[in-house]
Amino acid sequence: MKSIVYFTKKIEPESLIKLYQKLNVNLEPKIAIKVHTGEEGNQNYIKPDFYKDLVNYLDGVVVECNTAYGGERNETSKHLKLLERHGFNIFETDILDSTGDLELEIPNGLVIKKNYVGKNIEKYNSCLVLSHFKGHPMGGYGGALKQLSIGFASSNGKSYIHSAGKVKSQDVLCDNIASQDKFLESMADAASSVINYFKDNIVYISIMKNISVDCDCCSVAEDPCIPDIGILASTDPVALDKACLDLIYNSNFQGKEHFIERVETRNGKHILDAASKLNLGNLEYELIDIDD
C-alpha cells in the first residue's frame, strides 16, 4: 500500500499547521521539534519566525545536537550563543547532548548495531522532525532521514555514523571516514533507532525552500540553485524524502542538474534503499496537494 505525502505550494507559516493537522496524529506532550538552526555564516537555513506559529501550536521544544566538526556548534556553550544570535531564543530550546549520550541498540542494523543520541531525548514523549530539504556535501541531500540520523546523533554519535561504527570521537574521525555506501547505510541504521525510540509518536514535515546543494551546516554555502517548491508532510520519512527528490528530478527547473549532480555523485539515493530494507517506510507514495 502506498504511503500518503501531503503537499502545498504555499510556503507560509500557517501551512505548517495545516499540514500537521492533515496527518491526523496527536503527538503526546512533551514534544521535541527537531530543526536545523544553521551554522555561523550560513545564509540558507530557515529562520525561526517561520516556525513560530507551529511551535506555539504544539507547545513544543526546539531541539538540536552538537556537531563533530569545527565551528560554532561543536560545544554546548558556543552552540547556545549561536542559537541566540540566530533568533531561536524566542523558543524553549534544548541541546540534547549537553548532558551526554544515550546509547540506542540497533539489533537489525545493516552496518552499526548501536547509535549515540543526545541523552536529553529521554525528556520527550513524541517528536516532529521539521526538516529543511536541501543538498548535503557528504550525504548528497538532507531531508527527514538525515535529521533522524545525523540530526539526533550526539557529537560522539555523529563520529560513529560517519565512521560506520569505527570511532566515536571527532579527534580521530578524519582517519576513519567510512566508504560512502557504508556511511549512508549507517545513517539509515541510526534513523531506525530514533524511529523505534518514539514509535508511533513521530511525524515529519519538510520545507523545500532555499534549496542549495549545500547543507545548513556549511558556514560557506552556495546560494540556492533552484526555485522554492513547497512544503510536504507525512508519517513516513522514506516516502517524504522520495517525494521531495522526485519533485526536483521531475521538474523543468533551470539549475536542477546541479542539484542532481550533488545527489548522484554521493550516491545519495542509496539511503532510501537502505531505509526501505530496514522497513522504515515505503518508496511508493501518493502525493496529495492540499491546495486543490
| Cell numbers for 2 | 502506498
Quote the pLDDT of residue 69: 81
Q: What is the pLDDT along the chain (292 residues), one digit of tens a residue?
A: 899 999 999 999 999 999 999 999 999 999 999 999 999 999 999 999 999 999 999 999 999 999 998 889 999 999 999 999 999 999 999 999 999 999 999 999 999 999 999 999 999 999 999 999 999 999 999 999 999 999 999 999 999 999 999 998 887 787 788 999 999 999 999 999 999 999 999 999 999 999 999 999 999 999 999 999 999 999 999 999 999 999 999 999 999 999 999 999 999 999 999 999 999 999 999 999 999 8
Instruction: Count helices and strands (H / E) in the chain.
Output: 9, 12
The closest alpha carbon to 69, from 197, 176, 218, belongs to 218
| Cell numbers for 16 | 505548517
Quote the pLDDT of residue 289: 98
State the Cα–Cα distance between residues 95 and 263, nearest whole angstrom.
29
Per-residue DSSP letters for 149-185? IIITB-HHHHHHHHTTTS---GGGGGGGPPPHHHHHH
Quote the pLDDT of residue 261: 98
Quote the pLDDT of residue 285: 98
Query: Which tens digit of pLDDT belongs to each residue from 28-81?
Result: 999 999 999 999 999 999 999 999 999 999 999 999 999 998 889 999 999 999
Quote the pLDDT of residue 226: 97
The closest alpha carbon to 101, from 85, 83, 120, 114, belongs to 120
Quote the pLDDT of residue 175: 79
| Cell numbers for 238 | 522514506
State the Cα–Cα distance between residues 48 and 44, nearest whole angstrom.
12
In the block, residue with C-alpha cell 529543511: 132
State the Cα–Cα distance between residues 225 and 101, nearest whole angstrom.
37
Computed over its alpha carbons, how large is the radius of gyration of the chain? Answer: 17
